[in-house]
Amino acid sequence: MDLLLARDLLAWPPGDNDTDTIIDGVHFNLTTLKFWNYTYWSNKTLSNVTWCELGFQPYLADTLLENGTWVNSTSCYVPLDPIGTRSAVGMGYAVAYALCLLLVLVNLTKHGKLHLPSEKRFVPIGRRWQWYWAIWVCATAMIGLFFNVDVDRYYVMEIPILITSFFWYLMQMGTTALVWEAVRHWGSWMERQYIDPNPFVLPEEGRRWHFEFWVPLFFYFWDWMNFFMVIPRNWSPIERQRAPDQVVNEAEPNAMDPRFKAATFMLFICWLTIVVYLQHAVRHYEAKHRGAANRVKGFFSYMPWRFILEIPLLLALVVYQGIAAWDFDLSPLKVNTYLPAVFVGGYTPSLLILIIQIIDGFMRPNEDRELIRQRRVRGAAVDQELGYVQKPAWWHRNAGADDMANRIMRNVREVGGGRATATRVDDIAQGRAVRRDSSLMAAGGGGGGGIEMSPMASPGGVGGGTAAPPPYTPYAGKSERRKTEHAMQAAAAALFPQPSNPASAAGSVADMPPPPEFGAAVAGTDGDVDDNRQAGMLRPRSGERNHSTASSVSVSQQRPQQVRSMLDV
C-alpha cells in the first residue's frame, strides 16, 4: 500500500516560473501553497495541519484559491484501495457472527419462555443473561469486522482502525461475561433442581448464600474495570500510522501503555473467578467425593462438556489480549499487523464459544419443562411406592365438560333437593296437631287441649281390654345408627300417631273408617271398634310400616323427593 511508503518530504516540482509548480500536469500557485503551509509528500499527498488532499489524477484538485480553498479536490481519508486479505477474512467472520446472532435469538426465545410461575429465588432474567451477552458479542464483532474493510481501503488511515479496535475490546469483555453467565446460571439451575423436591434442604442464608451473592459483584467489578482501562482514553495517537516514524513514535507507545497491560490482568481475574465459581457449584450441588484425586476426577466428570471447551478458549482469548498489549506487531491495533494472529487469537475463540453455546442450547430443553418432567417422574415413583394407580387422561375432569358432579347437581336442582325439615315444618306440625285433637274429641268425647296435654292410654286400653300388644321383633342389624333411627321412629309413632287416610282427616269423624282390631292381620277385613279406639288411642297395625323419621313429617303427604346421595337419583 502507498500508505506504508516512506512519507519523506519532496521538493516542489518546477513550473513555468518561481511562483509556479506543476503537480501531475496541473499548475498551482507556489506562493499560495507555502502561505498555507502545505507540504508535498512522497505518497503524493498535499497536507498541512488541518487539511490533506490527494495529489494525483484523477483525484487532484483543479486549482487552489488565494484564500486556501481547493477546487474539485479529494480528501486523503477516503476508501480508494481494493479489498485486501484483512477485509476478505473479516467479512467471512462477520457472516459467521451474523448467523450466530440469528441462532442466539432462537435459543433466547426457547430458554427464556416461562412455563412455571416465576419464583423470587430464581428470576427469569437469570437464565436469559447468557443469551443477552451472546447478542452483545455478535453485534460488537460484526461492527468491528465490517470496519476492517475500510482499514484496507483507506488511502491514508484514520478512524476505521480505531472503530475496529474499539469494538474488538468490547467483544472480549462481552465474551468473558458470556462464559461467566453460562457458568453462574448452570450453578443456579443445579440449585433449583436440588431444592425442588424439598425447598428447605438448603438454607437461604449462610456461607454458601453469601458466596453466591457477592461473587457476581466481584466478577463484574473486574470486568468493568477492564472496560474503563481500555475504552475511555485518547485514541487519536493510535490512528497515526501514516508513516513509519508515526508508527514508532506515536501509535506503538500508546497501544502498549500500562493501561492496556493492566486491563489484561483484570480480565485474567475474571477468568479465575469463573473457575472458582464452577468448582463451588460442583461441590455443593453434585455428589461428594473423598480424596484429592477423586475430587479432581469428580469435578471434571460433573462439569458440563461445554465448559470443558469454553473455559480454555476464554483463557486463550485473555492470553492473546496480553500478547497484543506487549507486542504491537501482533496487535489488532496495528494496520499492517500479522493477520493470522489477529483472527486466530482475537476472533476465533469468541466465535467458537458462541457456537458451543448455540449447540448446547438446542440440545438442552427449556428448564421449566425439564422441571415439570422431573416432578412427573418423582410423582410416578411415589405412586408406585404407595401402590396408587394413576387414572387415565380421559378420566380427569375437563373445563366445561358435563361430568358426573355437574349432572348430580343438576338433578338435585330439578327435584328441589335440600334438608327434609327445611320447608313448611311449622305448617305441617300445626295441621297434624289440629287433626289429631279433632279425632280425639270425636272418639272419646274429651277435650284435649294441645299435643302435650292429650290423654294417653295404656297398652291394655281404658276399659281394661285384654288385647295383647303386637309381638316385638328385635333389630338384627349391626349398625348403631340404624338402631337409633328405629327407636326414634317407634317413639314418634307412639307420641304422634297418624291416620290411615290423611286426606279425610280434616273431615267428619264419622266418615273415618274404623281401625282393625289389635289381633287382626294386616290383610284382614274391618272389625268392630274396640275400647281402645273409644278411649282415643289410634295405634297403627303391627304389619304397617311407618316411614317417618321425624314427628313433623308425614309420608303420605306429597313432598318433593329428597336427594341424599347419588343412589337416590
Look-up of cell digits 314418634: 492
35 burial level (CB within 10 Å; 0-12, 13-18, 19+): exposed
Same domain, 101 and 33: no
Q: Which domain holds residue 67?
A: 2-71
Same domain, 45 and 118: no
Same domain, 201 and 143: yes
Q: pLDDT tens digits for 407-464? A: 777 777 777 655 555 555 666 767 777 777 777 666 655 444 444 454 554 444 444 4
What residues contact 194, with CB distance under 8 A and at least 6 apart?
201, 202, 285
Is 352 part of any domain?
Answer: yes
Same domain, 268 and 190: yes
Q: pLDDT tens digits for 524-558? A: 444 444 444 444 444 444 444 444 444 444 444 45
Same domain, 174 and 250: yes
What sections of 18-84 are H helices per DSSP?
Answer: 30-35
Same domain, 103 and 159: yes
At residue 403, the pLDDT reads 62
Is 367 part of any domain?
Answer: yes
Is 309 part of any domain?
Answer: yes
Same domain, 366 and 434: no
Q: Please work out, in degrees rounded to the nearest 5, the angle formed at the alpha carbon of residue 513 by the alpha carbons of 507 and 515.
A: 125
CATH of the domain at 317: 1.20.1070
The C-alpha cell of 109 is what? 426465545
Is 25 part of any domain?
Answer: yes
Same domain, 232 and 270: yes
Is 372 part of any domain?
Answer: yes
The C-alpha cell of 555 is what? 309420608
Distance (Å) of CA 397 to CA 426, 476, 566: 42, 42, 18
Q: pLDDT tens digits for 192-240? A: 888 888 888 877 777 888 888 899 999 999 999 999 999 998 888 888 8
Q: Domain ends where: 71, 106, 125?
A: 71
Same domain, 32 and 107: no
Same domain, 103 and 201: yes
Residue 62: pLDDT over 90: no
Q: Domain ends where: 22, 38, 71?
A: 71
CA distance 112 to 567: 52
Same domain, 354 and 502: no
362 burial level (CB within 10 Å; 0-12, 13-18, 19+): exposed
Residue 506: pLDDT over 60: no
Split into its structural domains, the chain has a count of: 3
The reply to whether omega before 117 is within 30° of 0 (cis) is no
For residue 39, give the 3-state DSSP assignment: strand
CA distance 19 to 29: 6
CA distance 34 to 51: 14
Is 402 part of any domain?
Answer: no
Q: Domain ends where: 14, 38, 71?
A: 71
What residues contact 469, with CB distance under 8 A and at least 6 apart?
459, 518
The number of residues in the chain equals 569
Look-up of cell digits 496487535: 331
Neighbouring-strand partners of residue 45: 54
The model's confidence at residue 562, banded by pLDDT at 50, 70 and 90, is low
Is 24 part of any domain?
Answer: yes
Q: Give 566's Cβ-side CA count (13 Å radius).
A: 5
CA distance 89 to 91: 5
Look-up of cell digits 288385647: 467
Same domain, 192 and 282: yes
Is 222 part of any domain?
Answer: yes
At residue 518, the pLDDT reads 41
pTM here? Answer: 0.65
Q: pLDDT tens digits for 287-340? A: 666 656 666 666 666 788 899 999 999 999 999 999 999 999 999 999 888 999
Residue in 47, 49, 202, 177 with CA at minimum distance from that of residue 122: 202
